[in-house]
Amino acid sequence: MTSEFDVIICGAGPSGCTAALALGTSGLKVALIEKERFPREKVCGDALPAFVPKVLNTINPEYSRAFERIVEKKKADVCRIVSPGRKILDLRFPEYGYICKRLIFDAFLFDLVCRLPDITVFQGTLIKTVTVSNNEVITLTDKEQNLKSKLVIGCDGAHSIIRKKLAGIKNDINEGSVAVRTYFKNIKDTSPGTIELHFLKELLPGYFWIFPLPENQFNVGLGMPSKTISEEKINIRNELVRIIETEPFLSRRFSESEMTSEIKGHFLPLCTSKIPISGNHFMLCGDAASLVNPATGAGIGQAMQSGRYAGWHALKCFEKKDFSASFMKGYDNTIRDKLWKENRKYLMMQELVLKRAWIFDSFISAGQKSKSINKMITGQLR
């Protein structure tokens, strides 16, 4: 079966759905292809930065209002950083972020897309291969569907087939992290509206986190550079359990808690260098474009920003009737202007502060004593 579209979006996570929403009222014929079926779970810390509803608002104010109506989310405006020397610094942000399970948030975005009349959704459909030929993109699915389009937007995650086939880029173990997470109930001594980042000396620059969810639930996890895990032969799942059960600063708080899900892991492609994220008839977004924050491992906000910019650039492509690699550079330039500068700042923070326990402790001590330094650190992490 052969079907023709103007744009094919591969992957219905936050970047793919945001790209679809950005194109939703354009009149273009858009296909959104997702290998799983919603609602589906996604391994993540579940943290949403404050600008997520703002991204939705720039596309359609009703989308941000719909986000505010999600009841299964928790507001958070304090980030508690615990240094290797167990020094504590609470950073209060001027705006609320949110903690919302990806099972809920991704289904919310997907539902918004499904309401758009010009979007054709393919769930439970795996992309087998993609090629560019005769000024069109040909996408073959596992259901033997040939989908043709002028443009493909790769939002298909860390192991993106669009990235592999069209950009020719493979994941670099030196530019990634691995994170594991699970869910708990009834953790002791938590503060309302507070996310916790615990940096342990032996795991730097990785960290252990506790993020609050509704109904006394918590997302609990551990993230570390994949290079460190490989070189030190660390079993990160076992390390997460060890911290919860034996780390003096934390184990007491978990003594009466209940783990409510299995421990699951995921590879995070970090934004540590400039790579080509577009080319002839294609663009990459989110994890497929390695846009994960190199210091914190956060990716949802940047994924949604890239999806929005990809959708907007796609409109320019059809307006100019230009899908060439040179014209696509406008998308690369936007992403680098809007996101690379921020990620470079986080990368410098990781190299200069997060890898050295004594510098980290000194940094946190300075933040405890000086409001200006506290404010500076807060600004670095927003």
Task: Give the closest residue to 205 by CA, choosing from 361, 354, 358.
Answer: 354
Domain count, the chain: 1
Give CA angle at 177 (176, 180), nearest 5°: 150
- What are the counts of helices (DSSP H) followed by strands (DSSP E) for the chain? 13, 19
CA distance 337 to 269: 19
Q: Which pLDDT does position 381 carry in this prediction?
A: 59
Residue 286 lies in a domain: yes
Q: Which pLDDT does position 378 carry in this prediction?
A: 65
Q: Which pLDDT does position 369 carry in this prediction?
A: 78
The answer, yes or no, to whether the previous bond of 39 is cis (omega within 30 of 0) is yes
Residue 184 lies in a domain: no
Residue 364 lies in a domain: no
Residue 29 lies in a domain: yes
Residue 258 lies in a domain: no
Residue pLDDT tens, the chain, 382 long = 679 999 999 999 999 999 999 999 999 999 999 999 999 999 999 999 999 999 999 999 999 999 999 999 999 999 999 999 999 999 998 899 999 999 999 999 999 999 999 899 999 999 999 999 989 999 999 998 999 999 999 999 999 999 999 998 887 777 789 999 999 999 999 999 999 999 998 888 889 999 999 999 999 999 998 988 998 999 999 999 999 999 998 999 999 999 999 999 999 998 877 788 999 999 999 999 999 987 788 899 999 999 999 999 999 999 999 999 999 999 999 998 888 777 676 667 766 666 777 787 787 888 887 776 666 666 655 5
pTM for the whole structure:
0.93
Query: Domain of 340: which CATH number?
Result: 3.50.50.60
CA distance 212 to 157: 26
Task: Give the closest residue to 8 by CA, choosing from 127, 91, 173.
Answer: 127
Q: Which pLDDT does position 382 carry in this prediction?
A: 57
CA distance 361 to 88: 9
CA distance 144 to 139: 10
CA distance 73 to 99: 6
Residue 177 lies in a domain: no
Residue 150 lies in a domain: yes
DSSP readout, 295-362? TT---HHHHHHHHHHHHHHHHHHHHHT---HHHHHHHHHHHIIIIIHHHHHHHHHIIIIIT-HHHHHH
DSSP readout, 119-183? EEEE-S--EEEEEEETTEEEEEETT--EEEESEEEE---TT-HHIIIII-----GGGEEEEEEEE
- Token pair, residue 132, equals 């560019």
* Structural domain span for residue 109: 2-44+102-172+275-350
Buried b (16+ CB within 10 A) or exposed e, 6-45: bbbbbbbbbbbbbbbbbbbebebbbbbbbbbebebebbbb
- Token pair, residue 164, equals 């592999």
Q: What distance lies between CA 128 and its chain's CA centroid?
A: 24
Helix (H, G, I), strand (E, B) or coil at 80: strand
Residue 191 lies in a domain: no
CA distance 382 to 366: 19
CA distance 121 to 246: 47
CA distance 31 to 20: 8
Residue found under tokens 């980290």: 360
CA distance 273 to 175: 8
Task: Give the closest residue to 289 by CA, choosing from 165, 380, 155, 192.
Answer: 155
| CB within 8 Å of 211: residues ≥ 6 apart | 45, 46, 47, 76, 99, 195, 196, 218, 219, 220
Q: Is the dihedral of CA 182, 294, 60, 95 positive or negative?
A: positive
